[in-house]
Amino acid sequence: MRPPGKPDPVLTRPFLRRAHPDRFFSAVLPCRALVRTVNWRPMSQSRKLLVINCAALSAAMASRWDRPPGGLAFRSLETVFPAVTCAAQATFRTGAPPAANGMIANGRYFPELKKVLFWEQAASLVQGPRIWDAFRERGGTVGLMFWQQSLGEAADLIVSPKPVHKHSGGMIQDCYTAPHDLYAELVREIGRPFNLMHYWGPLASRKSSEWITAAIGAVLDRQDRAPDLLLTYLPHLDYDLQRKGPDSRQADTALRTLGEFLDPLCDKAQGRGYEVLIFGDYAIGPAMGGAVFPNRALRESGWFRVRAVKGMTYPDLFSSPAFAMVDHEIAHVYVSDADIREQVRTCLEELPGVDNVLDRREQAKRGLDHPNSGDLVLVAGEGYWFAYPWWSDRKEAPDFATHVDIHNKPGFDPCELFFGWPPGSVSLNTERIRGTHGRIGPGRETAWASTCAFDEEPRTLQQLAEQVKKWLDIDSTSTVHG
């Protein structure tokens, strides 16, 4: 008990008054008429949302569930172009297309460095306001778990893989979290650390989603940790759709497993007072036509130049007038010499498997006209995809070609999903790829479902983001007491 005559510290210290508003108002403002005049508007518990982005969850895949997870009704959605992870997630979190948010692919060419980097994680790479800005300004809390470009985001909780690459080779597996001690807590709760080998590479599997599902559940169980808006990501459906194709037996197994992960997440979230939103970022189509090699064509024409080191060749982007940064079914082509742009276009549009070549005007029609975009953007025909190699003779392949090196290859490499030869390396055989993505249009719709009551049914990913923002922006504060 407080000694007689000693004032309650809650009434005398501002930070304690904020922490204990019930004691402050009951002691200082007992009159209900006076309470009505006080602008005290704490967050209500009614606005809580769990967002689950499921990689490669297309409308066609969702229709194959006999019993949709969570008892939800899945509907089709046109995703953003290009239909790749980073572009889709950036569009959802900003409500704006790549022409505005700058995420024109999973990779980006930095002209000041003359370097291509894929899967960089700084939140500053995503331009523009977030759909949760006003929600957070009113006191709502926000978390991101395994979303791309989340490091440094203005959020209350972050979980993202962030290994340390050792100078002597190899890496130390770790996750970046905010608060910094959260990863250690999750490891203790789950009983094992997150294994990056299950997230990407030849060993990528359902085990990645299994760990993430457990981590989401652990966060939801912690009242002191669980944010009001939590954006999460389950990746594993993508792996076997690329390895074996969307119509394979393995794809069916991966889909069934996804449902098994989603069911308990939906139950737990709703039991904790959350609404749930599930959406797919892209649809994987069959890759039966094979790989297209734009950098080989550019090298043969003298525009893509290489540097020979110990018999291997490496890109020389300092002197190359043109090169292609490839990403599944799209490729950004950067042409430093405007005088050869039309020649480059003619060279590439004649390649078998190229469906379209978009200049800046055509990119603008598709919401892709951003300074980060290529001077030209290639779109693959159905069944084809773009591979980054510039060599035909395996002896010329750079040392990173046979390794999982997602950051430094000048293009996305799905061959990293397979082991190669010698043992311990990844495959160079592009003919093994059976699924790809990036295109949009009929047959490439994604799926979405939610327990939220939106004003309008969204037809596109951008509209879905807008509806979530409106839902968050509904006056989610409690009414003034009295």
Residue with tokens 């003034």: 480
Q: Which helix (H) or strand (E) holds 290?
A: strand 290-292
C-alpha span between 163 and 175 (Å, rounded): 7
pLDDT of residue 5: 47
Measuring CA to CA, which residue among 288, 296, 300 is closest to residue 385?
288
- Quote the radius of gyration of the chain (alpha carbons, Å): 25
C-alpha span between 24 and 403 (Å, rounded): 61
Measuring CA to CA, which residue among 17, 111, 48, 28 is closest to residue 274?
48
- Mean pLDDT in runs of 10 for the chain (482 residues)? 44 40 36 30 65 98 97 98 98 98 98 97 98 96 98 97 88 96 97 98 98 98 94 98 98 98 98 97 97 98 98 98 98 97 98 98 98 98 98 96 93 98 95 98 98 96 98 63 27
Residue with tokens 């080998």: 197
pLDDT tens digits, residue range 223-244?
888 999 999 999 999 999 999 9
pLDDT of residue 223: 87
Residues near 299 by beta carbon (within 8 Å), at least 6 away in sequence: 305, 306, 390
C-alpha span between 320 and 175 (Å, rounded): 37
pLDDT of residue 475: 63
C-alpha span between 297 and 385 (Å, rounded): 15
Q: Which helix (H) or strand (E) holds 110?
A: strand 107-110
Q: Is the dihedral of CA 246, 466, 117, 306 positive or negative?
A: positive
pLDDT of residue 373: 98
Task: Give the relative orientation of helices 206-221 and 249-271 as an angle to the nearest 10 degrees.
Answer: 0
Q: Tell me which DSSP letter residue 458 carries.
A: -
Domains of the chain (ranges; CATH) run 1-31 (no CATH), 49-286+442-473 (3.40.720.10), 290-433 (3.30.1360)
C-alpha span between 205 and 201 (Å, rounded): 9
pLDDT of residue 169: 80
Tokens of 68: 């949709």
pTM of the model: 0.89
C-alpha span between 61 and 59 (Å, rounded): 5
Measuring CA to CA, which residue among 154, 159, 158 is closest to residue 135?
154
What Å distances lie between residue 49 and 140, 317, 371, CA to CA? 11, 45, 34
Measuring CA to CA, which residue among 407, 429, 434, 405 is closest to residue 418?
429
| 401-421 per-residue burial string, b: 16 or more CB within 10 A, e: under 16 | bbbbebeebbbbbbbbbbebe
Residues near 29 by beta carbon (within 8 Å), at least 6 away in sequence: 35, 38
**Peptide bond preceding 422 in cis form (omega within 30 of 0):** yes
